[in-house]
Amino acid sequence: MLFSSNIFIFVFLPSVILIYYTLLRSSRNAQNIFLFLASIFFYAWGEPKFVLVMLLSITASWFFGLMVDKYREDKPKAHLFIVADVAFNLFVIFIFKYLMFTAENINFLFGRDVIKVPYIMLPIGISFFTFQAMSYVIDIYRKDGKAQKSIINVGLYIAFFPQLIAGPIVRYQTVSEQIQDRKETLDDFADGVTRFIIGFSKKVLIANNMAVIADQAFSTAGDNSFLMAWLGAVAYTFQIYFDFGGYSDMAIGLGKMFGFHFLENFNYPYISKSATEFWRRWHISLSTWFRDYLYIPLGGNRVDSAARHIFNIFFVWLMTGIWHGANWTFIAWGLMWFCLLIFEKYSGFDIKDESHRYGVLRHVYLMFFAILGWVIFRADNITQAFVYMKNMFFIGTAVIDDAFLEYFRQYALLFIIAAVASTPVVKWIGEKKWSRTQAAGLAGAAVLAVLFLVSVSFLVKDAYNPFIYFNF
């Protein structure tokens, strides 16, 4: 079930809110049980047979968490249970996400069918809930959260429907106290509704329309003109940001409606001036997860040699690419960012330019490589990525074609809106003193109402509604 669907907007969410705040308002345990069961139903709506996979992950994490807490002072045993939990979750994600890819590449390497390639469907959101499951046990060992005696509470943390299928990856230390001791307020609920509508509008009005252009451009990768190739690449750049960023906004808003406070997942990444800054602003929950659970344990930058430091960064970005999917395009995308980060760190480029003399050039540099990276990320395979980029670099193609003229005519205004919405301009306006008056508040509420109604109208008309991170 998607947040941007009629069944969620008009049936599931209103029903859950009504029951949570009326029938169950006097019992936190009853509310937690209900939210857990509602989350299981939410997941089962689209993936009924894979509910067992998630329940198995929850059960394993609950058990390993109790064992780590019990044997905390017995380091060898505690470490054994941590390793067992990590191994279990990585095994699950390998079987469902990477087994086919591994088998296909082994067969390609040997030039024959050494391994029979099985067809395995990918459970929705498996990369997200397995990482949260690992976070639970590790954070208990680090004393960043208390072990939950109730398996329902562990299940609620891992399976809570706002962040279940596409994040943000919620660290256990962030919400450990909120599971039992959260406090719902009218202000938080109102903020949650506002945040949800903003994310909903980003997804439906901007991302879905940008997807029309991007899908067309990538489906005709070899035939695009120079301008159409760039238009499609920029469209995908906006699509993935407003798709995933909008979904994160909706998740954070939904969490607030039920008293949960999740950390931000995006902070205007397209205003960055370096790869280092970009990854402090893009998919923050993933980059901090890899930093705290992989990069720092490997030694981070506190190592004896540059070679080991480079290896640590390489390994993290190799894993980041692999996390996104079983395709060489994702690995190439991750290694591209590794190369940029190494260049910046060892050339001094990532040192903040206080004079701002080269701000525009640094921003152009970042966005140029970000867009190229998204082309690799979006392509079906490495060959298609190279074919697409060949046209972007004006190699053997026309400058302009009819497709570019048609899409540019229809969507020029949307590109301007997307560019403005990618910056903190609207946030800056909202923070001004004059924007906090009663009149401004009423105007803002009216704008939100219009955005919601227009977005809903697109859903009612069954407009194009893809979701990029649905299968990550």
Q: Which of 84, 92, 32 is nearest to 57 (CA)?
A: 92
How far is Cα 107 from Cα 116, in angstroms, rounded to an integer? 9
What CA–CA distance (Å, rounded) separates 315 from 323? 12
Judged by phi (left if over 0) then psi (alpha if -120 to 50, else beta), residue 401 lies in: beta
Distance CA 281, CA 367 (A): 14
Contact between residue 323 and residue 294 where contact means Cβ atoms under 8 Å apart:
no
Just list the catalytic residues.
324
* φ/ψ of residue 352, rounded to 5: -60, 130
> If you search the block for the tokens 């029903």, which residue do you land on?
15
Q: Count the Cβ atoms, other than its own, within 10 Å of residue 394.
A: 14
CA atoms within 13 Å, Cβ hemisphere of 471: 11
What is the number of alpha carbons within 13 Å of residue 449 lying toward its C-beta?
Answer: 6
Q: Are 144 and 72 in contact (CB under 8 A)?
A: no
Which segments of 211-308 are extended strands (E)? none
Residue listed under structure tokens 């706002």? 162
Q: Reduced to 3 states, what is the DSSP secondary structure of residue 358?
A: coil
* Of 1, 471, 405, residue with least CA distance to 228: 405
DSSP 3-state assignment of 179? helix
CA dihedral 419, 424, 428, 431 (to 10 degrees): 130
Tokens of 207: 């991302």
Question: Which value, to the nearest 10 degrees, does the dihedral of the CA atoms of residues 329, 332, 338, 341 take?
Answer: -80
DSSP 423: S
Distance CA 79, CA 318 (A): 25
Q: What is d(CA 217, CA 58) in angstroms, rounded to the nearest whole number?
A: 41
Minimal CA–CA distance to 157: which of 184, 139, 183? 139
